[in-house]
Amino acid sequence: MRIAAAQAHTRWNDPAKTTDVITDWIDAAAAAGVELLAFGETFLGGYPFWVDETAASLWNDDLQKRAFAQYLSGAVELSGPELARIVECARDQRVFTYLGVAERGSGAARGTVRCTLVAIDSDAGIVSAHRKLMPTFGERLVWGTGDGNGLRVHMGPGGVRVGGLNCWENWMPLARAAMYAGGEDVHVAVWPGSVRNTDGPTRFLAQEGRVYALSASSLISLADVPDDFPLKDEVASRYGGDREHLLYNGGSCIAGPDGQWIVEPVIGEERLVCADVDVAQIRAERQNFDPSGHYSRPDVLELRVHRRRLNAADFDDA
């Protein structure tokens, strides 16, 4: 199986145009023989870049509230038309796709955005939507917490099992253990787009899990942000008014199950970051270490994963 990260510029806060970008990259991936494709964290909808660049924690600040309101409007529902188009494209092109989504609740939680990693099977459509368990640092001002419903590993093309986590979830030992225990062969780690995040963890994930680790990151510049976003000028002022400044520089990369680089982090370049998966290498590296197999001790150490989807209320009309 050929795997790839689509390292690309998003159309920030514009889900319709970003959907066009995503389907174009799926088409390009299929033409390159890619069967598993991953996009960066919240690629569809956009990463909340301003929380690290402005006084995002100011209480009841009008500008911050307007920024959030616009961000919420650009988030998408899982049942919305954007994902329907992407599912159709993935099905047509036979590409299993992991897509980072800024998800807005439908029905319940319509005023909340969650960082969600959607897995799209080329036959079955959306097979999981993993909401980030714990937003990182300033992200907690913008995103709601998730649950364990999406901690699932899927049968991918060619019988290769694939799973994924959002950004710093890849540093959570028990979250990683849950994915390894699901039988991963390929671990997808999605990031907003900074090589400082992908450089170290990708190789460690691969070596610890004895898996192929695919880190997918985005490129985000101020030029990608609509001019009417309330905090764009304030952020630009930090960089001398440079609207082309690259806030997130990518860093997509791939490591093999021995922890060695197959593709080192790619910085500042739009491209497919590709590698071919050799199942025999996975099996060979598990000869001396299998974290959820012969090197586990379930009689001593136990992990329980709760995968029920959590909502504010469960209505029982019976």
Catalytic residue ranges: 41, 132, 167
Contacts of 288 (CB under 8 A, 6+ apart): none
d(CA 91, CA 264): 30
């001593």: which residue's tokens? Answer: 300
Q: Do 166 and 193 meet the contact criterion of CB atoms below 8 Å apart?
A: no
Phi, psi values for residue 92, rounded to 5°: -65, -40
What residue type is 265 in one-letter code?
P
- Which ranges in 244-287 belong to alpha helices (H)? 279-285
Q: List residues bridging with 76 in a β-sheet.
A: 103
Look at residues 38, 37, 6, 19 and name the one whose alpha carbon lies nearest to residue 189.
Answer: 38
Q: Do 294 and 245 meet the contact criterion of CB atoms below 8 Å apart?
A: no
